[in-house]
Amino acid sequence: MKVKIQGLDCPNCAKALENHINKLDSVKKAEINFVKSSLVFESDNESKALQEIIEVTKKIEPQASIVTPGKKNKESQRIIIDFCLLLLGIALGAIVIFVKMPTWLYWTLFVISALIMGYRTYYKALRLLLKGTINENLLVTISVIGATAVGEHFEGLMVIALYSIGKILESIAVNKSRKSIEKLTSFKPEYAILLDGEEEKRVEPSQLKIGDVVLVRPGERLAVDGIIVDGKASIDKQSLTGESLPESVKEGDEILSGSIILDGVLKVRATKAYQESTVNKIVELIEHASDKKSKTETVISKLTKWYTLGVIILAVLVWGIVWAITKNINTAVYRGLIFLVVSCPCAFAISVPLSYFAGIGNASRKGILIKGSNYLDACAKLNLIAFDKTGTLTTGEFEVVDIEVCKETLTKEDVLFLASLGEQYSLHPLASAIVKGNKRQLEKVKNVKEVAGEGVYFDYKKDSYFVGRKSENLQGTVVELFKNQEKLGQLILKDKVKDTAVSACSNLKAMNIKTDMLSGDSEKVAYEVASQIGIDEVHAKMLPEAKFEYIKGLKENKANHVGFVGDGMNDAPSLTLADVGFCMGLKGNAISMEASDVVLATDNPEKVADAIKLSKYTRKIVWQNIGLSAIVKLTFLILGAIGITGMLSAVIADVGVTLIVILNSLRALGYKIKNKKQA
């Protein structure tokens, strides 16, 4: 079961809450996604588990609440209430600091001011401490109490005021980030119009099954994959593929769910249930992308678990050293408190997962579906890309480019016609290309027999014919035609190179990434295609097993970080073995899509380079955030320890760097990929 959580603005708090939920007897497994503000849990009794989760959330994170179905998210209202209370606390604090009054009134207003501004912080610190969890709330609480104890009343109030202001700004920034990311899955259809005869029924997309016919009007989004049975229209597939140009479709065409109808009215027969539809699979890929974490993200998550305890120990150490040097306990305590304030781990804990999710979200908007931040990191390290040929670098659609006639009484058209008589019964791609090239009316033939790996045998007008391949050492893609063992001619076919294949290879080379092509075709065909595209290295006559062994051999060299790009079921082993497997196209084989780490929504090989560029950019932002946070914190720790900066500077530095890295993370969401244009 999946539910939303409102009011959860601290990654470490989210982890602590997740740990307590997992201790519930009614819960088998629970996971909180801080970036998406969601909770997914497994239970044999979901209603009981949900109730217990709601109760434990109130105890551990009182400002957070579970948004059950039908309940409104009141996140904005909570922020407004917190802000109003903060203003009241600051006003009382100002009166305490600047107005002379009796001692009893001074301390009464001081305590009220401090409580109003930080009651959530103190409560969370105490509750989690009693549960054996130490986090940044405890650091701030100790700092406020310590500052007050050493006579720095003004700084004590300012610490909690600035910290609370920072948390509110942080909540606003995180919520904005979440909303930006949630827009990525907004293309999920809300309803479908099911046709029952002439009657129209508005239903949930999940109710649709194979064979149902749905009606889609202009401005509506198709709920299921299907075939158009009536109508024609222009459709927008940008949310699926990242391609902005509209596409014209008509009766008999396949159409993907999630497409928006721009004009015209379509009737579409579902070829898949909604659960298996393209739009649902894309949404699932985006929503589960954060489940597979990068090594960086995992390390940061593990470090923050012990980080706060380590900070407290180091603060005590700083206190001891300063006391030993200055012989002044107030100075020592004060500098130890500075260490506590500036060491809050929020900047690390928030920015790293947010950066990765923003990068993955941006990629999905461009039609590049990366299954996790671990694969995004792996993409950034690739230095060699191996391409399958057919359907990946070429269209997979063959055409007859020449016909050689061996019998003077026949013309090229005669050879093509006779070959088509047999090939009309075959499902082979070459057979389809031959039949497509024929312009004459085909007749029925007798005794048709197709032999795998050879061709088609048939009888026509009392003669026996064979169309296929018998001769050895034929160069290229050649289909021969025989009549009663006499060769009548041969047809030369070629697979068209994709228009985007050349620029795809060029963009990879610009990043110093080597390109290989693995093909099952003859050397002549493979090298001809490779020369057109600009591939670095070619391997021909390779069966799926040979491709697998080749990838395996490349990976034995630890310096190689190998990506493999393919689209067919036979590519699945190589897709799985490669450091990153790229599956071409949403219409590709389900097995290859499952085996891959990155799914490209279109058949455009340029998207491989795009995925790598976006991954490198996102990874750069992650390290910028880690580096900036570390430098700022280390600088203020040193300055605070030697007495140059005070607690206010420490709080401002901590809050400031957190906000900066959150905003920097969002750059990954808006990054625009720039590629060199081909002449």
Q: Which residue has the tokens 């900070």?
A: 311
Nearest of 375, 372, 378 to residue 33 by alpha carbon: 372
- Positions marked catalytic: 388
* Residue 31 burial (10 A CB sphere; 0-12, 13-18, 19+): middle
With the C-alpha atoms ordered 590, 596, 599, 600, is the resulting torsion angle positive or negative?
negative
Pairing of strands 199-203, 192-196: antiparallel
Residue 546 CA: distances (Å) to CA of 391, 452, 495, 553, 577: 18, 21, 22, 10, 13
Helix axis angle, 103-130 relative to 11-22, nearest 10°? 50
Give 670's Cβ-side CA count (13 Å radius).
7
Q: Which residue has the tokens 């605070």?
A: 640
How many residues make up the chain in this entry?
679
For 667, list phi and psi in degrees, rounded to 5. -60, -30
Alpha-carbon span 535 to 388, nearest angstrom: 12
For residue 9, the SS3 value is coil
- Decide: 645 and 338 in contact? Cβ < 8 Å: yes
Please provide the DSSP assignment of 131-175 as one string.
TT---HHHHHHHHHHHHHHTT-HHHHHHHHHHHHHHHHHHHHHHH
Q: Is 225 left (phi over 0), alpha (psi -120 to 50) or beta?
A: beta
What tokens were used for 135? 């986090």
Residue 610 CA: distances (Å) to CA of 316, 379, 393, 622: 49, 10, 16, 18
- Decide: 333 and 150 in contact? Cβ < 8 Å: yes
Nearest of 302, 301, 298 to residue 373 by alpha carbon: 298
Nearest of 508, 533, 517 to residue 676 by alpha carbon: 508
Alpha-carbon span 135 to 126, nearest angstrom: 10
Quickly list H helices, 534-595.
544-556, 572-577, 590-595
Nearest of 558, 242, 603, 676 to residue 387 by alpha carbon: 603
Tally Cβ neighbours within 10 Å of residue 24.
17
Alpha-carbon span 123 to 125, nearest angstrom: 5
